[in-house]
Structure 1
Amino acid sequence: MVVLKVTLLEGRSLERKRELVKRLTEMAARTLSEPYEEVRVILYEVRKDQWATGGILLSDKEGA
Structure 2
Amino acid sequence: MPIINVQILEGRPKEKIAEMIQNITDTVAETLDAPKESIRVLVTELPNTHWGVAGVPMSEKNRKLV
TM range (shorter): over 0.9
Q: Which runs of 5+ in 1 are unaligned?
A: none
Find the residue that maps to 2:40 and give its secondary structure.
strand
Runs of 4+ in 1 over 6 A off after TM superposition: none
Aligned CA RMSD, in angstroms, stands at 0.6
| Aligned match of 2:3 | 3
- Taking structure 2 as the reference length, the TM-score comes to 0.93
Deviation at 1:5, TM superposition (A): 0.3
Q: Shift in Å at residue 61 of structure 1?
A: 1.2
Q: How do 1:1-64 residues align onto structure 2 when only pairs under 5 Å count?
A: 1-64=1-64
- Of all paired residues, the percent bearing the same amino acid is 33
1:62 positional shift: 1.5
What is the count of residue pairs matched by the alignment?
64
5+ residue gaps, structure 2, are none
